[in-house]
């Protein structure tokens, strides 16, 4: 009988120790903040699609070409389905980019800002939102912008 009591006491202590270990180390804290959502899986498309090509924009002032700009634009997506949708509309979107860049780069405000890339990116993001709908393109990035007189 004494042995059974000792065995029960040892089992009770082991069970209590295991329960305490679970309580203090493995139990989820009810006051803990929820875990952060996983970051979106980003994908991208380049305009123009070929790596060795660029969009050439000529700035015309007083009926003369004054400057040439060469652009490589990257569209960043947070959803692969949005990328597939945009892939079908790349020719129309490229045309919209060319029209917007030709009108934008000829403005005095842009010239005075020394052709600020953030200003150009903002306008290209608006073009994407108009053509594809808001939120389809996560971010427009200018991968390369060169200027030639």
pLDDT of residue 93: 92
List, for residues 119-128, the tens digit of each pLDDT value.
999 999 999 9
What total number of domains does the chain contain?
A: 1
Distance CA 115, CA 96 (A): 19
Tell me the pTM: 0.70
List, for residues 55-105, the tens digit of each pLDDT value.
888 888 888 888 888 989 999 998 889 999 999 999 999 999 999 988 888
Spatial neighbors of 147 by CB under 8 A, at least 6 apart, are 67, 68, 69, 70, 115
66: domain range? 43-148
| 30 falls within a domain | no
Report angle CA 137, 58, 53 to the nearest 5 degrees. 55
37 has pLDDT over 90: no
List, for residues 109-145, the tens digit of each pLDDT value.
878 888 888 999 999 999 999 999 998 999 998 888 8
Strands (E), the chain: 43-47, 55-61, 64-77, 139-148
CATH code: domain of residue 139: 3.30.479.30
pLDDT of residue 11: 78
């Amino acid at each position: 009988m004494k042995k059974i009591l000792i065995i029960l006491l040892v089992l009770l202590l082991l069970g209590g120790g295991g329960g305490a270990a679970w309580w203090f180390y493995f139990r989820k804290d009810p006051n803990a903040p929820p875990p952060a959502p996983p970051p979106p899986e980003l994908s991208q498309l380049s305009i123009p699609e070929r790596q060795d090509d660029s969009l050439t924009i000529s700035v015309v002032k007083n009926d003369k070409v004054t400057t040439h700009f060469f652009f490589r634009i990257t569209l960043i997506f947070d959803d692969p389905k949005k990328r597939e949708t945009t892939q079908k509309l790349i020719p129309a979107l490229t045309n919209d980019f060319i029209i917007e860049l030709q009108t934008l780069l000829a403005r005095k405000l842009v010239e005075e800002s020394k052709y600020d890339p953030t200003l150009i990116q903002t306008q290209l993001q608006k073009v994407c939102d108009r053509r594809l709908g808001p939120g389809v393109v996560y971010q427009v990035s200018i991968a390369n912008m060169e200027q030639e007189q």
